[in-house]
Copies of this chain bind each other. A is one copy, B any other.
Amino acid sequence: MTRADVARYAGVSTAVVSYVLNGGPKNVAPLTRERVLDAVRVLGYRPNAAARALSMGSADMFGLLVHDNRSPFFAELCHALDQATADAGRSLLIVNSDRTQVPTADQIRDLASRQIAGLIIADVLTSGEQSVVHSLGIPAVVMGQFGETDDLHSVGVDFARGAREACEHLIGHGYRDIAFAGSAARYDERERGWREALSAARLPLGPLLHTPFGYQGGYDAAVELMRLPSLPRAVLAASDQIGIGMLAAFGERGVRVPDDIAVVSFDGTIAADFVWPRLTTAVQPLEQMAEVAVQLLTDPTASRHHRALFTHLRVRESCGCAAQHG
């Protein structure tokens, strides 16, 4: 049941049991090691993580602060992070920050009091909350944001480039009136990519819609678009959820996609493949992002610059490309 039992069974001290179980900090004679391992097996011993955490001053857990784990992109991010942390022998303490009654700073402090070894932030933090993270001295990595965050680690995607590619694809279809639907919360790099692609093609800016992320935001944005004197020929949505919400609104009013208006979105979530028409979307490499995040948290020597990975455009039917099954 405890390390002492294993030690007794193997006829060694508890220190030796620790040495073999942790692979250090001291060497153990091969035969002794075998005896210990046998004892562990026979007794079905599992170390008490709380004791270890107390002794080490840090638990084998990462905290994940996410605004709302239900939105598909973040649900997939949680999943990828769960895999990556488990691969690193750690657990994930997930906390949603969308409860209005509880200040996020308190949630961060609570996580810290649980001795997490690192904090993954899939959310946007106020500067006050960021300084809490700093003051607590927890290694932290920000995921999915647009660039450097203070001097925390960060990993994301080249949003501008991804959006540019998506927009160029739309331009390649011959569309000239291309709208953008994204969030106004902060300056959106995707919006910049859209602008760049259009101006590079000497095309005028299409309608610009600022709307919340999420299905409803997309729905509302599409309604907005349909109120315009003339419907743009295509729209770039800043997230799959916005894209799906738009599809719903268009479907409801009998506007055909991609015939009346083409749609391309961003994220590459699973759901984008199971709407009709299927969404062409800029896929974020989630597994890779998760691995980088965990590795940054694990490696104390990692330098603190922003890591931007590349999206790749997954072409399906919503942009007007011919149906491709699968």
Contact = CB atoms under 8 A, between A and B. Distances in A.
B50 A59 contact: yes
Interface in A82-104: 82-83, 86, 91-96, 99, 102
A114 B271 contact: no
Interface string A159-193: 00000000000000000000000000000000000
Contacts of A213: none
Contact of A273 (B69, B93, B109, B215): B215
Q: State the copy count for this chain.
A: 2
A94 B95 contact: no
Interface in A183-229: 215-216, 218-219
Q: Is the interface of A mostly helix, strand, loop or mixed?
A: helix
Contact of A54 (B54, B218, B251, B277): B54
Contacts of A113: 46-49
B49 A51 contact: no
Contacts of A276: 247-248, 250-252
Interface string A104-119: 0000011111110000
Interface string A44-58: 001111110110000
Nearest to A109: B46
Nearest to A244: B274
A321 interface: no
Contact of A70 (B68, B79, B247): B79
A323 interface: yes
Contacts of A43: none
Interface in A246-300: 247-248, 250-252, 270-271, 273-278
A76 interface: yes
A144 B64 CA distance: 25
A82 B94 contact: yes
